[in-house]
Amino acid sequence: MEPAWEQTLEAGRAIRPYLTELFPERLSTRQELDFCLARALDLTTRDEEAAAAKVRTLLRAHPETADWTAKFEAHGAPEDAARRGHGPGGPGELVVAPRYTCPVADDYVWHRRSASVLPPLCPTHGVRVRPAPRTPQ
Ligand SMILES: [Zn+2]
């Protein structure tokens, strides 16, 4: 079982690709939120628990992100990246789409729900995300 703060950090990394969908009409809100999340996640290398506390505050600041985070916590992944299917453990197992992360700072997580979609660039570092399965803590 991973510590709660690791789950919070993962939610903070994984919500970034969803901000456009969560705030379609509010460009400044999503830009500010993405900037603040990136800054909070940047603290991870020095103090993971402090970084997680900042990320948690940001995720709770809007009903849209609080709702998204509750679903993330229930699935351990973005809701639309997890589904019940035939996993290695048998039918009915929760199968999560392949996880990609920013190779520079692990501050942006994206799940590849379709092989036809090109992985995006990390908006903070401008580099393409790379496959990075989540390792159990
Ligand atoms: Zn990055």
Gap from CA of 14 to ligand 1 centroid (Å) = 12
What is the DSSP annotation of 81-116? Answer: GEEEEEETTEEEEEEEPPEEE-TTTS--EEE---TT
- Provide the mean pLDDT of the chain: 92
Tally of structural domains, the chain: 1
Gap from CA of 88 to ligand 1 centroid (Å) = 31
Gap from CA of 47 to ligand 1 centroid (Å) = 18
pLDDT value for 137 = 45
pLDDT value for 85 = 79
Q: Domain for residue 16, yes or no?
A: yes
pLDDT digits (tens, 9 = 90+) for 6-43: 999 999 999 999 999 999 999 999 999 999 999 999 99
The pTM (predicted TM-score) of the whole model is 0.90
38 by DSSP, 3-state: which? Answer: helix
pLDDT digits (tens, 9 = 90+) for 69-114: 999 998 889 999 988 877 777 778 888 899 999 999 999 999 999 9
Q: Domain for residue 137, yes or no?
A: no
- Domain span at 77: 4-131
